[in-house]
Chains A and B, each alone.
Chain A
Amino acid sequence: MPEPAVVENPDAPDTGVAPLVSVRGLEVAFRVREAGPARWRRSLLNAVAGVDLDIPRGETLGLVGESGCGKSTTGRAILQLQRPTAGSVRFDGTELTTLSRAELRRMRSRMQMVFQDPYASLNPRMTVGESIAEPMLVHGVGDWRSRRRTVAELLETVGLSPAWEERYPHEFSGGQRQRIGIARALVLEPEFIVADEPVSALDVSVQAQTINLLESLQERFGLTYLFIAHDLAVVRHLSTRVAVMYLGKIVEVGGDAVYERPRHPYTQALLSAVPIPDPHVETERRRKVLTGDVPSPVRPPSGCRFRTRCWKAEEVCAQEEPALRPMGDGQWAACHFAGPVGPPPTPALTLPRPAPPALS
């Protein structure tokens, strides 16, 4: 193993420790055909258009945004499941984008993915024991006996009975299948896991079980997560820091400040749209309801990509693309009007609420 190179990182605060995962200028473009007025046209769709991220070891970075914003593609491109068009992805000091297939395969055991739909990601003709053991076969880990032992231990770790290893995926409920997906991701003892909407398809009660499982696994194995989701409450619960994506770009990133003092208008709108399970809060809230839909990523708006739906947009927004700028406290936002000086941003949530009536 070569010495881990020092990551040049002009933007991020100097913590003295190189992050486990460091992404710079990541771009992914897909060739698409779209129906034009006369005939099919070929165009480029920039799903990820220049993303910078750092994930320190042992932390969870939440990546949020609405469908089509490029958050899943970012996750896949970091793991090289989707080769990036441009940019750099460093994992523990190793540049992944230039690795050969064989070198990449060796690295893969250290980073894994948990998918949204465990039913689609498990082979229906393999028993769950076979599915969980498969990565060990591929990577030549252990012998038959030790692999069986590992499978049994893992099933227990994720809260399933080891006796169920002979069963097939269809015999399990959605929440149980997600546990199997997690066991499979853990089998090679990875350091880094990209979890792509792992709880979105689950019912609330089962969702909470899975969230708790992901948390306790992180504590137990010192895992680093990239947690991709659209549910801001879940992301805040699980993540150390959060990055908000819109149309292929990161518009805001930071710690709790992002929820408490969101600087980017899109983050404000997103937070304001999340329903709160409390009628007292809901009746007093004033929502910032965004008009319109997300524009096509094939022809994104000039300048700031959010300007077509932004209530603050002015001429400069159409001409100049705002860069991510530091707002203090580890918070960064890409908006011309989100300066650390100037009027304080509107709080997205009305926090004060009447005390609940005394319980009978």
Chain B
Amino acid sequence: MALLEVHDLRTQFRSRAGIVQAVDGVSFHVDEGEMLALVGESGCGKSVTAQSIMRLVPTPGGEIVGGQVMFKGRDILTMPARELRSIRGGGISLVPQDPMTSLNPVLPIGRQITESLKVHLGLRGAAARARAVDLLDMVGIPAPATRLRSYPHQFSGGMRQRVMIAMALSCDPSLILADEITTALDVTIQAQILELLKRLTRELGTAVIFITHDLGVVAGMAERVNVMYGGQIVERATTVDLFDTPRMPYTWGLLGSVPRLDQPRQGKLRPIDGYPPNLAEPPPGCRFAPRCAFRRDVCLEEPPALVSVPAADGRIQEARCWGMREPGDGGWLRGQSWRAALREQNREQNEVHHA
């Protein structure tokens, strides 16, 4: 049985522009000990998905309006507050992007770590302090016993993120939600933190939902990837399949947008035209259709469902794209190589420009 199963999750926000469907029918599962990536650009709904899983959607304004979040067979969205508190403390923990805003600036970090040990595990005094020292030692903070008395501002950004990981691991959770945890860090520090998260969760058997906008980071971390766009999952595959044979034109666009350090310099990048959709008034058909170079009329009119596409070694990947249906069923993108498709698109655009 999957550790976590999200089924048809819907979360919306009221705003002056109307009701924003931030998460619109998201379903996925996480297995025990697995690292699953949720990748997408700002506003795609990846962080709201994480907040919804822990029932931490900001209120008033935000509301989970539908779906199920089954954690170890129990639905988080309908469970009583007491049970929810025990899950937030021990079952699932969240590592946020910016540790400075989630740590209390006027309390030494030792107090902040032992607090949750006291509430959730009933550890007090010397026992709690000993456990806190162990945790800081585990995440590689030098002289952990003395550092318990330090305040958040006395740590560097990377060290603060280590403290957050220590706190997240403090009550032995079975799932960690890591929301853009390295976005604010420099690359050499990012490399340290990613190694640490990968090593610790592997040793402890903790499952991770790794949320990021950075495809490079995904490639080195996750086993499976969900790509989100406009509040929906638009592609799902193992990491290898996603990068070898991406199926959704949005994923093609993401991969064509980043220059690669390990390959010869290329000419122009191939960005995606336009801007992400306004989720208060989402496009009637495919959310990506207005920016898609490969769209046909059906894409603008009717929303596509996730379709299964065979991948390497008998695996299946899924894409929310009309063009990826069976060729007999009218799928015009099935079997296209994405690199060739983007090259072709570029050539056409150049011809238009020169005409």
Contacts and interface: CB of A to CB of B under 8 A. Distances in A.
Interface string A157-179: 00000000000000001011000
B156 A293 contact: yes
A341 B191 CA distance: 31
B104 interface: no
Contact of A206 (B240, B261, B271, B310): B271
Interface in B303-332: 310-312
B220 interface: yes
A277 B187 contact: no
B258 A203 contact: no
A212 B220 contact: no
A359 B337 CA distance: 6
Given A204-B213, A237-B269, A276 B261 contact: yes
A204 B42 contact: no
A356 B214 CA distance: 21
Contacts of A290: 188, 191-192
Nearest to A291: B192
B192 A278 contact: no
Contact of B257 (A204, A259, A279, A282): A204
Given A208-B271, A357-B312, A66 B220 contact: no
Given A66-B188, A270-B188, A293-B158, A275 B269 contact: no
A270 B187 contact: yes
A349 B220 contact: no
A269 interface: yes
Nearest to A209: B271
Nearest to B218: A277
A175 B187 CA distance: 23
Which of A237, A271, A291: most chain B CB closer than 10 A? A237
Contacts of B180: none
A200 to B, nearest CB: 11
B188 A205 contact: no
B271 A233 contact: no
A227 B42 CA distance: 24
Given A204-B257, A237-B259, A359-B335, A277 B188 contact: no
B319 to A, nearest CB: 13
A230 B187 contact: yes
Interface in B226-276: 239-240, 243-245, 253-262, 265-266, 268-273, 275-276
B261 A349 contact: yes
Nearest to A351: B262
Interface residues of A, number: 52
A159 B253 CA distance: 19
Given A67-B186, A204-B254, A211-B269, A274 B261 contact: yes
Nearest to A215: B268
A127 B328 CA distance: 53
B189 interface: yes
Contact of B159 (A176, A234, A293, A353): A293
Contact of B262 (A173, A207, A256, A276): A276
A252 to B, nearest CB: 15
B187 A66 contact: yes
Contact of B186 (A66, A275, A282): A66
A175 B269 CA distance: 16
A350 B262 CA distance: 8
A232 interface: yes
A288 to B, nearest CB: 9
Interface residues of B, number: 53
Given A205-B272, A212-B271, A233 B261 contact: yes
A291 B159 CA distance: 12
Contacts of B256: 208
Interface in B195-218: 195, 213-218
A274 B190 CA distance: 9
A241 to B, nearest CB: 13
A159 B256 CA distance: 20
Contacts of A205: 41, 253-254, 257, 271-272
Which of B240, B272, B275, B276: most chain A CB closer than 10 A? B275
A273 B220 contact: no
A259 B335 CA distance: 35
Given A66-B186, A203-B41, A351-B262, A276 B219 contact: yes
Interface in A276-296: 276-283, 285, 287, 289-291, 293
B192 A289 contact: yes
Interface of B: 41-42, 156, 158-159, 186-192, 194-195, 213-220, 239-240, 243-245, 253-262, 265-266, 268-273, 275-276, 310-312, 335-337
Given A206-B271, A230-B186, A279-B240, 20 more contacts: A66-B188, A203-B41, A203-B42, A203-B213, A204-B213, A208-B258, A208-B269, A233-B258, A236-B261, A276-B260, A277-B215, A277-B219, A279-B239, A289-B192, A290-B188, A351-B262, A357-B244, A357-B245, A357-B312, A359-B245
5 contacts: A203-B42, A205-B257, A205-B272, A237-B266, A357-B244
Interface of A: 66-67, 173, 175-176, 203-209, 211-212, 215, 230, 232-234, 236-237, 256, 259, 269-283, 285, 287, 289-291, 293, 349-351, 353, 356-357, 359-360
